[in-house]
């Protein structure tokens, strides 16, 4: 294979060369996505949207056009990703300059008509979104916020919310995220030590559930009240 | 003539007429259909970064023959296949090997722990406070003081655990015994009995007819759907004219 035409592109590349170019570009794109961080995957703001559509279709065209240069394709992907990272960085430095502000559509149970007009949201759009959120009765809603990434959040009035433990005067209990103890047959030693537990303790728990072989356990998690969730 | 047309539609061409582009659109539509059938479930859910790259790229590649006459349909199919295989391989290895998964998918990042915001983690993930607050609002946790822990998942969204005082009361808290729960099973779908589901629960057609008769439904044909929950409660709905 002629490496120069592989990297710089030529009219007659073999199907294999084309496939290899696709693999390289895809891997470059995955690395770029990792660089851009989780917020890119969640598409949380305007520039994330545009970058998503841009960077990806750009890579797609480079993959498909045998005459385009692979080298410049990779350069563009990374530089574009860096621009995006830079915008995200500006976003944490000066939040309001990069991104639009969330807009309040309802406050204290009353619609803010000008804001709805500003955002070009019709009443029917809004009612549909509210239904999807399970908020059918407008009288139960305190505020509605249109987030900058286009989703609608609803804050219900306290009397329309489910009863909380505090309201029922139930004693507080400690909460924290559960910890993984066994993952696909392997003990997570670090987590076990952090919780001040040892293998013996864990094996006893397994035997209580009638499991003798560690390999059989797909997932075991320690919940905060001491319950061990085990799934084979 | 026909040969030239096929070449224009499926191969690379200098210039093609709107009519040929229309034909190309139809062939691309066919490709879309096939992709929709085999698309991995996880890619649409966008659990992690490489799903994101895959999903958006598939859309771009598939439509590429419509961008320009030069881009050939056959190349498109090859590349769609290559990217599909790559995504499949990465998912496969990630399921088998946790360390590989951590490198390719990234890890979830704790943002709030024991009610305190961890600022360095927020900065590392390029997350301004505003964004955290918006994402929390969208999952019905608008108040920071109610939050015990918050985690930025690899899908780019935040999950929260509320402090015990602000968690809804569950039947367990009040020692109320519960029945049922779990996923209900569909027994009749659009007037047709779903035989596998019925068999799985250990019932037969006769039993179902009997149950419906008890509810006052003599004709199976009039029933649109029947569901049963795990406590054995039957729900049915009839076909309506309008």
In this prediction the ipTM stands at 0.71
For residues A146-158, average pLDDT: 81
Q: Are residues A15 and A43 in the same domain?
A: yes
For residue A73, being part of any structural domain is answered with: yes
Cα angle vertex B93, ends B90, B95, to 5°?
Answer: 105
Taking only the tens place, the pLDDT of each residue in B58-96 is: 888 888 888 777 888 888 888 889 888 988 888 888 888
With respect to residue A166, please indicate whether it lies within any of the assigned structural domains: no
Answer yes or no: do A10 and A92 share one domain.
yes
User: Using 50, 70 and 90 to split pLDDT, how confident is the model at B111?
Assistant: very high
Contact A22 B166 (CB under 8 A): no
Question: What pLDDT, in 10s, does the model give residues A42-89?
Answer: 777 667 777 777 787 778 877 778 788 888 888 888 888 888 888 888
Range of the domain at A114: 103-160
Q: Per-residue pLDDT for A231 more than 70?
A: yes
Please give the angle made by the CA atoms of A73, A77 and A83, to the nearest 5 degrees: 140
Q: How far is A209 from chain B (nearest CA, A)?
A: 22
Q: Which residue of A has its CA nearest to B159?
A: A177
Q: Do both A13 and A57 map to the same domain?
A: yes
> Is A87 within a domain?
yes
Q: How far is B187 from chain A (nearest CA, A)?
A: 27
User: Residue A138 falls within a domain, yes or no?
Assistant: yes
> HSE-up of B165 (CA within 13 Å, CB side)?
8
Contact A177 B161 (CB under 8 A): yes
- Domain boundary (A71, A96, A121) is at A96
Strand order in the sheet with A141-146: A110-111, A103-107, A141-146, A152-156
Between residues 45 and 74 of chain B, which touch chain A (CB distance below 8 Å)? 46, 48-53, 56-57, 59-61, 64-65, 67-68, 70-72
B 160-199 residues inside an 8 A Cβ radius of A:
161-169, 173-174
Residue A171 is given by DSSP the state P
**Which of B60, B138, B165 minimises the CB distance to A166?**
B165
Q: Is residue A174 part of a domain?
A: no
A177 touches B at CB < 8 Å = yes
B123 contacts on A by Cβ (under 8 Å): 92
Helix/strand/coil (H/E/C) assignment for every residue in B184-215: CEEEEECCEECHHHHHHCCCCHHHHHHHHHHC
User: A151 and A186, same structural domain?
Assistant: no
Q: How far is A200 from chain B (nearest CA, A)?
A: 24
For residue A96, is pLDDT > 70?
no
Same domain, residue pair A184 and A127: no
- CB contacts of A145 in chain B (<8 Å) are 134, 137
The whole-model pTM stands at 0.74
Residue A15 touches chain B, beta carbons under 8 Å:
yes
Q: What is the CA radius of gyration of chain A?
A: 27
Mean pLDDT, chain A, whole residue set: 82
Q: For residues A44 and A82, state if they share a domain.
A: yes
Q: What is the DSSP string of A191-228?
A: HHHHTT--HHHHHHHHHHTT---GGG-SEEEE-TTS-E
Q: For residue A25, what are the CA distances in angstroms to A9, A73, B49?
A: 14, 8, 15
Domains and their CATH numbers in chain B: 2-99 (no CATH), 109-166 (3.30.240.20), 185-238 (3.30.240.20)
Shared-domain flag, residues A17 and A68: yes
Q: Using alpha carbons, select from A148, A100, A156, A112 the residue that is nearest to residue A130.
A: A156
Inside any domain, residue A173: no
Considering the domain architecture, whether residues A114 and A82 belong to the same structural domain is answered as no
Shared domain for A89 and A118, answered yes or no, is no
Residue A117 located in a structural domain: yes
Q: Are residues A36 and A114 in the same domain?
A: no
A149/B contact by beta carbon, under 8 A: yes
Residue among B65, B78, B140 minimizing CB distance to A15:
B78
Q: Does an H or E element contain A58, and which?
A: helix A46-64
pLDDT digits (tens, 9 = 90+) for B166-211: 888 888 888 888 776 778 888 888 888 888 888 888 888 888 888 8
Residue-by-residue DSSP string for A114-165: HHHHHTT--HHHHHHHHHHTT---GGGEEEEEE-TTS-EEEEE-GGGSPPBT
Look up residue B168 and give its DSSP letter. B
- pLDDT at position A54, please? 78
Query: Domain with A128 in it: what CATH number?
Result: 3.30.240.20
Which residue of chain B comes nearest to A134, CA vs CA? Answer: B140
Q: Give the dihedral of Cα atoms B111, B116, B118, B123; nearest 10 deg.
A: 80
Residues A108, A86 share a domain: no
Q: Which residues does residue A156 pair with via DSSP β-bridges, in sequence order?
A: A141
Our count of domains for chain A comes to 3
Residue A136 pLDDT exceeds 70 = yes
Are A120 and A85 within one domain? no
Of all residues in chain B, the one with the smallest CA distance to A101 is B130
Establish if A110 belongs to a structural domain: yes
């Amino acid at each position: 294979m002629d490496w120069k035409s592989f990297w710089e592109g030529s009219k007659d590349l073999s199907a294999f060369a084309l496939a290899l170019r696709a693999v390289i570009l895809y891997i470059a794109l995955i690395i770029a996505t990792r660089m851009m961080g989780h917020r890119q995957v969640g598409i949380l703001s305007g520039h994330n949207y545009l970058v998503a559509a841009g960077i990806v279709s750009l890579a797609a065209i480079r993959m498909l056009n045998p005459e385009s240069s692979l080298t410049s394709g990779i350069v563009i992907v990374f530089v574009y990703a860096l621009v995006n990272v830079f915008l995200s960085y500006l976003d944490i430095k000066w939040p309001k300059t990069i991104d639009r502000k969330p807009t309040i559509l309802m406050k204290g149970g009353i619609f803010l008509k000008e804001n709805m007009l500003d955002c070009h949201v019709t009443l029917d759009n809004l009612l549909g979104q509210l239904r999807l959120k399970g908020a059918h009765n407008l009288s139960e809603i305190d505020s509605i916020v249109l987030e900058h990434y286009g989703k609608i959040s609803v804050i219900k009035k306290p009397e329309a919310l489910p009863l909380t433990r505090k309201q029922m005067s139930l004693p507080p209990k400690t909460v924290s995220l559960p910890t993984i103890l066994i993952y696909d047959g392997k003990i997570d030693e670090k987590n076990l030590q952090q919780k001040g537990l040892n293998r013996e303790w864990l094996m006893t728990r397994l035997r209580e559930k009638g499991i003798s072989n560690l390999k059989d356990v797909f997932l075991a998690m320690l919940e905060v009240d001491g319950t061990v969730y085990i799934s084979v | 003539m026909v040969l030239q047309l096929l070449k224009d539609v499926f191969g690379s061409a200098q210039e093609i007429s709107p009519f040929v582009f229309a034909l190309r659109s139809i062939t691309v539509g066919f490709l879309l259909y096939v992709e929709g059938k085999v698309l991995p479930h996880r890619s649409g859910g966008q659990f992690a970064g490489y799903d994101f790259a895959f999903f958006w790229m598939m859309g771009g590649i598939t439509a590429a023959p419509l961008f320009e006459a030069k881009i050939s349909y056959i190349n498109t199919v090859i590349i769609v296949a290559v990217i599909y295989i790559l995504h499949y391989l990465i998912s496969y290895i990630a399921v088998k090997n946790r360390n590989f998964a951590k490198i390719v998918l990234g890890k979830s990042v704790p943002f709030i722990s024991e009610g305190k915001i961890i600022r360095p983690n927020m900065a590392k993930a390029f997350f301004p406070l505003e964004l955290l607050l918006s994402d929390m609002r969208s999952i019905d946790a608008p108040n920071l003081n109610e939050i015990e822990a918050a985690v930025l998942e690899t899908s780019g969204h935040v999950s929260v655990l509320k402090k015990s005082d602000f968690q809804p009361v569950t039947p367990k808290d009040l020692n109320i015994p519960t029945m049922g729960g779990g996923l209900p099973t569909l027994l009749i779908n659009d007037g047709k009995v779903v035989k596998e589901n019925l068999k799985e629960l250990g019932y037969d057609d006769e039993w179902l007819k009997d149950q419906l008769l008890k509810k006052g439904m003599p004709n199976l044909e009039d029933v649109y759907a029947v569901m049963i929950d795990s406590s054995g409660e039957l729900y049915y709905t009839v076909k309506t004219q309008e």
